[in-house]
Amino acid sequence: MNSASGKPIDHRSLSWWIDKAVEWTVFLGGFSAIVFIIGIFVFITKEGVGFMGGSFDVGEFFGSIRWNPTSDNRPTYGALALIVGTASVTGLAMIVAVPFSLGAAIYISEFATGRTRETLKVLVELLAAIPSVVWGFIGLTIMNPLIIETFNVPIGLNVLNSGIILGLMAAPIMTTLAEDALKAVPDSYREAAEAMGASRWQVTWRVAIPAGRHGLVAAILLGVGRGFGETMAVLMASGHAINLPTSPFDSVRALTATIAAELGETAVGSDHYQALFTLGILLFVVTFAINLAADVFVRRSDKR
């Protein structure tokens, strides 16, 4: 670049170099996110790969409910019951969380105003602040006797218990993201509908929700991902019994809970240890896919 007088400007002063150095330093900070996500994949694959190349049997892993890695004569690694366990708990959690989160998001975004809105938002954040292990403790001590008494069943640690707990845990993130999605719908859309004489609900139902639908789907997907990967609460509230559930009152065992409960007792490098890492790979791949799908929806809504 030349200045008006024709002489080249000297960009390379000390502060120019400092600026460059800082740019590179902060770039490394940003790039570290990519390094970490790849690192997670590499390290869990590294620990699990011996099993996948050895005792791993795809048919058994996905088709058998016999998860018995500590058997002396013939250990089995059937993860079907664990997958179904995770799916049933997450499914019930979504039945609880999706309508209530969307309802709350719509109320906060479209109906509540001023102080009410701020208070409700803070309370929803409060819900998100309670640690996972405390939710598990609540499942154990409050929900368990409550379910036994209400439904007259022998055990209260089951799909119902962990599903409700998980629903309450996934609700805040879904509410917050769904509210963001509705807030991103331009007010001019609403004003146009209001000018035609539409009521608040008509505006919400016919204009805001259809316009924000991609963001709402992304919110639900991220909530599903949250439920799917939750560990401590499910470990404590689901009963932790290997079982294909036939009703919400059956105890189940989740993928995450299996890793948490068994990893401490395994020898590093053993088949059992590597099998648990293989469960981790499965969890990683599924949550990664869910997050990618959510991102696709978010980007679609951005295009508008």
Q: Find the binding residues for another protein in span 6-45 (CB under 8 A).
A: 15-16, 18-19, 22-23, 25-34, 36-37, 39-40, 43-44
Nearer to another protein, 40 or 63 (CB): 40
Site string for another protein, 158-187 (x = CB under 8 A): ----------x--x---x------------
Nearer to another protein, 41 or 189 (CB): 41
| Number of residues counted as binding another protein (CB under 8 A) | 89
- Residue 302 touching another protein (CB under 8 A): no
Residues 238-277 that bind another protein (CB under 8 A): 256, 259-260, 263-264, 268, 276-277
Residue with tokens 């559930």: 245
Nearer to another protein, 17 or 63 (CB): 17
Nearer to another protein, 19 or 191 (CB): 19
- Residue 146 touching another protein (CB under 8 A): no
In sequence order, what DSSP letters do the residues of 103-158 get, joined into one string? HHHHIIIII--HHHHHHHHHHHHHHHHS-HHHHHHHIIIIIHHHHHHHHT-S---S
Q: How far apart are CA 142 and CA 47, in angstroms?
A: 38
Q: How far apart are CA 264 and CA 267, in angstroms?
A: 8
Contact window for another protein (CB under 8 A) among 71-79, 87-95, 147-155, 191-199: 191-199
- Residue 114 touching another protein (CB under 8 A): no
The minimum distance between CB 32 and another protein, in angstroms, equals 6
Question: Do the Cβ atoms of 166 and 89 come closer than 8 Å?
Answer: yes
Torsion angle in degrees (nearest 10) through CA of 117, 120, 124, 130: 140
